[in-house]
A and B are shown apart, each in its own frame.
Chain A
Amino acid sequence: MTHQPAADSTAFAASAAGPARQSPWQRWSGSVEAWLLLLPSVVLLATFTHIPIVATLIDSFYSTPRPNRPSRFVGLRNYEDMVADPLFWKVMWNNAVYAVGTIPLSIALALAMALFVNDRIPGRGFLRMAYFTPTVLPMIAVANIWLFFYTPDYGLLDQVLRLFGVGATNWLGMQETALGAIITVAVWKEAGFFMIFYLAALQQIPPDLREAAAIEGASRWTFFRRVTWPLLAPVTLFVLVNAIINAFRTVDHILVMTHGGPDNATNVLLLMIYETGFKFWDQGAATALTIVLLAVLSGLALFQFVVASRRVHYQ
C-alpha cells in the first residue's frame, strides 16, 4: 500500500502531460482506481436517470400496450398526436406563464428580502426565520393554508378585500384568476428558500467594499448595481437553474388546490404527464410528453451554463 500515493501522482502527471513513459499496466491500474471511485455515482445515475431517459425515449416511438394489442413501433405518431392536441398547447402555454410568473418574481423577492435582513435592523433573526418558514412547510400544507386564504367569502383574502368594498371572489374557481393564484403560492413558498442563498452570498461580501465605495461617492443603488449584483451573479445563476427546474417540476399545490382546473386553466406539463401516464394509462402519449419536458429542461440548462456562465464572475 505504501507505494500507492506515488502511483497516483504519476497517473495524474501522465494525464496532465500527455503520454509519458509509463507501462500500460500502470496506466490501467490508475484508471481502474478512478473508475472504482466513480462507480457508486455512475450506478445510481444510470439506474435512476440515464437508463430511464433512454427507455422513455424508445417507448415514445411505440404505441401504448393494451391487453389484446401489444405495443408496436409507430415512429413519430405519438408526437404527431401530441402536437395535434389543443390541450398540449394550452398546457405548454400555462407552464410558460407559470414559469415567467414565478421565476423573476421569486428571485426578485428573495433578493429584496435578503438585502433587507442583511442590514443591521432590530428583529433581524425573527424576520429571517419568518421569511424562511414557508420553505420548511411541506407544499401540501402550504396548499391547504392558501386554500383557506382563497376561500370565497370567508377566506382571508376576501375578508380583507371586503374592508375595501370588494365582494366575494372564487379565486381558484375562475379561469382568469386561478393560474395567478397558483403562481402566488409558488412565489410565497420559493422566495424564502432562494433568500437563504442570497443571504449567505451577501455575508461573503466584505463590508469594507461598501465603505470603500461610500468614500468614492457611490450611492446605495450604485453600489448594488456595480458591486453587489455582479458579485451575486453565481448565486443568481444557481437560483435561476433551481427556479426553472421547479417551475416545471412542482405540481403538489396544483393537485391539492385546483387539480388543473377549472377547464385546464391551471394544468401544467408535469400534471398532464401524470394524468396521461397514471390515470389514463396512455404510455405512448405520456412518454412523448416526458421527452418534451426533458428537452425543455436540458435546453434551458444548457443555455444557462454555456451562455450565462460566461458573464458570471466566480471568486
Chain B
Amino acid sequence: MIAPGPNRSTVERERTGRGGTGTSVSRIDVEHLDKRFDDKPVVKDISFSVPHGELCVLLGPSGCGKSTTLRLIAGLEDPSGGRILIGGQDVTWLPAKDRKIAMVFQSYALFPHLDVSDNILFGLQVRGVPKAEQQQRLQSVAGITGLKDYLARKPGQLSGGQRQRVALARAIVSEQPVCLMDEPLSNLDAKLRNEMRLEIRGLQQRLNMTMVYVTHDQIEAMTMADQVILMNNGVIEQAGAPADLYERPASLFAARFIGAPPMNLFHDRIPGQVLGVRAEHLVPAGPTGNGSDMVVASVEYLGADAMLSVRAVQGEQKDAVFVRVPGSRRAQAGERLALTWDPAHEHHFDAATGRRLEGSGARAEVLTQKH
C-alpha cells in the first residue's frame, strides 16, 4: 500500500536531511528510569538506548510497565526518578511538545469533529506552519499513507485500518525525528495487522525515524524490531536483537514469553536447574520401553509442520511437551515415542533465580544419554 511514487520525496528528503546532521540526532537514552503510582512501582530502574534510525520494541505482558515507559519518554507522565535523553539533550522535565516527538496512540486519538486533512494538519496548524507548506506536506503524507481519496471524511466515516493510517499520517507529517507507538495495531484484524506491520517498518526505515514501539504481540516484536526490550513487572528481562531473545533467552520468563509454542521446560532433570528445549529441537524416536517414554496426546496439523502435544506415559512430567515435526510425518494421537535432542540446543536456567546459566552443556550431555 505504500505508494513508491514521486510524492514520497518531500518528507523523505527533509527527514534524511535532518538525520544527516549527526548520527546521535534522535538517539534515545533512558537512564535508571523509575515510576511509581501512589507508591506502587510500575517502572523500576530501567535503562536502555535506542540508536538513531532504529526501531526498538518494548514487549511484555499487560501491566509490565511498557506503556508507562513509552508515556514517560513522550512526556505524558512525570518520572519518579532517572533521566531521559533525546538526541543527547536531557528532556526529563521538558513538556511533551518540546521533545521533538510524534506519537501514535492505541485508540488513534483522532479528533472526531475534524476531517482527515484537519486531523493530519492539526499539529502544523497549532505550530503555525505556513499554509502552502501545510498543503504540500499533507499531499505528500496522504500519498505515502494512501489517504488521498479520504481527506474530506470524518474519522467516523472511515474503517479501522483507515483510521490507523490517519494516526500514522499525523505522526509522519510532523516530521519529528522520534516516533512513539503505543500498540498501534491492536485494534486491527489479523490480516490488516500483518500488512501494517510491514508498512510501518518500511516507513520507519525509509524515513530514517527513531521509533519506540510498544506491543504485547511477540510476532510484531520479532518481525519489526532492531532491538526488543522484553519487560516484566516493571523491569527489563532481556534486551537484544529478536534472534538473541529467541536463541539465547536470558531468563525463564523470556524463554516462555518468546516463541510459539513457549519453550518446553523440564524441572526435575538436573538438581537446581531448569532445562529448556524448543519444540523444533525435540526429535521423536522409537519408544525405548525404559520408563521415560512419552505418548502423543494431540496433534495439530499446520501444513508445513505439525505440533505434537506429548505427555509422559508415567511419572513426574505433568505439563505437556510440545514437539514440532514435519507435516509429512503423519503423527497419531496415542503414538508412543521417546524424545531426543542435540545438547547444543539445550538452555539451562537457575531454578531459584530463573536466570540463564552458561557453560553447563557437558553435564546436560551426560543426562541426555539416558534417552
A residues near B (Cβ < 8 Å) are 206, 208-209, 211-218, 222, 226-227, 230-231, 233, 313, 315
B112 at the interface (CB under 8 A from A): yes
Q: B112, A212: Cβ atoms under 8 Å?
A: no
A208 pairs with B97, CB closer than 8 A:
no
Q: Is the CB of A214 within 8 A of B76?
A: yes
Is B122 within 8 A of A216, CB to CB? yes
**Is B112 touching A216 in the complex (CB atoms < 8 A)?**
no
Assuming A213-B126, A215-B102, what are 7 further A-B pairs, CB within 8 angstroms?
A206-B107, A211-B105, A212-B109, A212-B170, A215-B74, A216-B123, A218-B122
A215-B126 contact, Cβ under 8 Å, with A208-B109, A209-B109, A227-B111: no
* List of B residues within 8 angstroms of A211 by Cβ: 74, 76, 96, 103, 105, 109
- Among B45-99, those with CB < 8 Å from A are 74-76, 95-97
B97, A215: Cβ atoms closer than 8 Å: yes
How far apart are the CA atoms of A214 and B101 in the complex, in Å? Answer: 11
- Report B305 CB to chain A, min CB distance, Å: 41
Chain A CB within 8 A of B113 CB: yes
For the complex, what is the distance from the CA of A211 to the CA of B167, rounded to whole Å? 13
Scoring B74, B101, B123 by chain A CB atoms within 10 A of each residue's CB, the highest score goes to B123
Asked whether A209 and B127 contact (CB < 8 A) given A214-B76, A215-B97, A315-B156, the answer is: no
| A–B Cβ pairs within 8 angstroms, 9 of them | A212-B105, A213-B122, A215-B76, A216-B174, A217-B97, A217-B123, A226-B111, A230-B113, A313-B112
With the chains together, A214 CA to B76 CA distance in Å? 9
B239 to chain A, nearest CB (A): 26
Asked if residues B103 and A215 are in contact (CB atoms below 8 Å), the reply is yes
- Tell me the smallest distance from the CB of A253 to a CB of chain B, in Å: 38
Asked whether B97 lies within 8 Å of A214 as measured between CB atoms, the reply is yes
Among the listed B76, B97, B122, B174, which residue makes an inter-chain contact with A226, where contact means beta carbons less than 8 Å apart? Answer: B122
Given contacts A213-B122, A217-B126, A313 and B113 within 8 Å (CB-CB): yes
Main secondary structure of the interface of A (DSSP, over half): helix
Q: A206, B109: Cβ atoms under 8 Å?
A: yes
CB-based contact A212/B103 at 8 Å = yes
Closest 7 CB pairs of A and B: A216-B123, A217-B97, A212-B109, A313-B113, A208-B109, A230-B113, A215-B96
Min CB distance, A45 to chain B, in Å?
Answer: 33
CA distance A214 to B113 in the complex (A): 18
Asked if A216 and B97 make an inter-chain contact with CB atoms under 8 angstroms apart, the answer reads: yes
Give complex CA distance A11, B167 in Å.
43
B156's nearest neighbour on chain A, judged by CB, is A315
Taking residues whose C-beta sits less than 8 angstroms from the other chain, chain B's interface range is 20 to 34
- What is the CA–CA distance of A44 and B174 in the complex, to the nearest angstrom? 58
B156 with A218: CB separation less than 8 A: no
CB distance from B296 to the nearest CB of A (A): 48
Across-interface contacts of B95 in A (CB, < 8 A): 214
Given contacts A211-B105, A212-B103, whether A222 and B96 have CB atoms under 8 Å apart is no
List the A side residues contacting B112 at CB < 8 Å. Answer: 231, 313, 315
Task: Tell me the minimal C-beta distance from B177 to chain A in angstroms.
Answer: 14
B184 to chain A, nearest CB (A): 13
**Docked pose: A211 CA to B112 CA in angstroms:** 15
Whole-angstrom CA separation of A222 from B122 in the bound complex: 11
Q: Which residues of A contact B105 (CB under 8 A)?
A: 208, 211-212
**How far apart sit A75 and B75, CA to CA, in the bound complex (Å)?**
73
B109 to chain A, nearest CB (A): 4
Point out the residues of chain A lying under 8 angstroms from B76, CB to CB: 211, 214-215
B contact residues around A230 at 8 Å (CB): 113
Chain A residue nearest in CB terms to B119: A212
CB within 8 A of B127: which of A206, A214, A217? A217
Docked-complex contact B101 and A215, CB < 8 angstroms: yes
Enumerate chain B residues within 8 angstroms of A215, measured Cβ to Cβ. 74-76, 96-97, 101-103, 123
Name the A residues within 8 Å of B123 (CB-CB).
215-218
- Complex CA gap A212/B111 in Å reads 9
Find chain A residues with CB under 8 A from B111 CB. 209, 226-227
- Closest residue of A by beta carbon distance from B154: A313
B101 neighbours in A (Cβ, 8 Å): 215
The docked-state distance in angstroms from the alpha carbon of A4 to that of B235 is 62
Q: Which residues in B have their C-beta under 8 angstroms from that of A216?
A: 97, 122-123, 126-127, 170, 174
Q: How far is the CA of A215 from the CA of B100 in the complex (A)?
A: 9
- Whether the Cβ atoms of A208 and B107 lie closer than 8 Å is yes
Q: In whole Å, how far is B120's beta carbon from the nearest beta carbon of chain A?
A: 11
Complex CA distance for A222 and B126, rounded to whole angstroms: 8
CA–CA, A212 to B109, complex, Å?
A: 7
Q: Report the minimal beta-carbon distance from A213 to chain B, rounded to whole angstroms.
A: 7
Distance in Å: Cβ of B149 to nearest Cβ of chain A: 22
Q: How far is the CB of B88 from chain A (nearest CB, A)?
A: 21
Query: Are A214 and B96 in contact (CB-based, < 8 A)?
Result: yes
Closest-by-CB residue of A relative to B121 is: A216
CA distance A227 to B123 in the complex (A): 13
Check A231 against B113 for contact (C-beta < 8 Å).
yes
What B residues does A231 contact at CB under 8 A?
112-113
B122 contacts which chain A residues (CB < 8 A)?
213, 216, 218, 226
Q: Which of A214, A216, A231, A313 has the most CB of B within 10 A?
A: A216
Give Cα A231–Cα B111 distance, bound, in whole angstroms: 9
C-alpha gap A235/B170 in the complex (Å) = 28
